[in-house]
Structure 1
């Protein structure tokens, strides 16, 4: 577990960005394309913890970036090279550009200063998107990651950020996946090898000066 002093050193407001991953209505909202994941996100407290992190970041002057996955109605430019992508095309709720499904989910509050990065392809919120360029232009050194899912997008984001040279902190109780027991396993045995995994309370404590 990272000490308070280590977290303070790593999470300075001027050099840290909070990245929320696919915390959108069509994924974790009440009308989700993935109801099992949405239920897990809500009943575990994960979504509430993401909202708390965002609020704390806003209060501390930490830049927030929301990574959203979406697709055109005609599917142009989207991947079809994996079972996951083909299955998504058949779901009753689709993450279509301009629809409610691709809005950042309540109770997360998006401020005017937040950046929303939308991607039409791939698995990663980072690779092939604007995220890296934005982080560098912001003077970012460390990234706090929260969101869904522990199965695919969150590990992708963490590994890509580490490969790009950023320090990464993962809010372990602000991440969800299915089945529930898999989340702890992937955080401990994969993500935890390259990033610090801490609790929302610890991160908010740093940003709130407690």
Structure 2
């Protein structure tokens, strides 16, 4: 009970943002550039849990933010200082600005009050995107991080949130990475040291007053 009350205190809607990381068609959709990751986020209901958290956050009055990674068709401004970026340039599905690949996946409804933050460079949904200023203007103190992947972008988001002074909450069953054993190790041995690692059900219960995941 004490743990539940502590989580509810962290997740007070007026001061909380729910962040979906790269939950876009070209990453987690049927035509993903990263099919193994797309399978991982769908196989056990992770994507459905993210969608449920988005709806519950919005209903409770928390801020909802969708972080999209994209690149211009001409590549201007894109990062090339890591093998990941150079590999992404050669993938058959490109996350190009203005294309379906760079839109939030169909399973997650985007509300009129949601923020959609797009980045053309780097690894982070927070650093260098302007999101930090937006969250501070909204009075946000806690960031709930969901999405993909536990390999890179999700840990990056958590670290940046903590470095910027936010409390990070990670529902372990609303994030995904590959392979599964590596993703589990990141949660257990890294993110658990800097964030409150919990479950989607517990977060939903804080916002809905219910113990059941709908």
TM-score by length of 2: 0.96
Please state if 1:134 is matched with 2:134.
yes
Would you identify which runs of 4 or more consecutive aligned residues in structure 1 move more than 4 Å?
A: none
The within-5 A match list for 1:1-210 is 3-210=3-210
**Contact between 1:49 and 1:200, CA under 8 Å: does it hold in 2?**
yes
- CA displacement at 1:2 relative to structure 2: 7.7
SS at match of 1:14: helix
- Work out the CA distance in 1 between the residues paired with 2:9 and 2:107: 29
Greater helix content: 2
**Contact between 1:88 and 1:94, CA under 8 Å: does it hold in 2?**
yes
**Contact between 1:26 and 1:101, CA under 8 Å: does it hold in 2?**
yes
- Work out the CA distance in 2 between the residues paired with 1:20 and 1:131: 13
- CA displacement at 1:59 relative to structure 2: 1.3
- Work out the CA distance in 2 between the residues paired with 1:8 and 1:86: 42
SS at match of 1:190: helix
- CA displacement at 1:44 relative to structure 2: 2.2
| Aligned positions, number | 210
Instruction: Show structure 2 runs of 5+ residues with no match.
Output: none
- Work out the CA distance in 2 between the residues paired with 1:94 and 1:204: 34
1:2–1:124 CA distance, 2 compared to 1 (3 A): farther
TM-score by length of 1: 0.98
- CA displacement at 1:82 relative to structure 2: 0.7
TM-superposition CA deviations, 1:133-168 (whole Å, max 9, x none): 011000001110000000000000000000000001
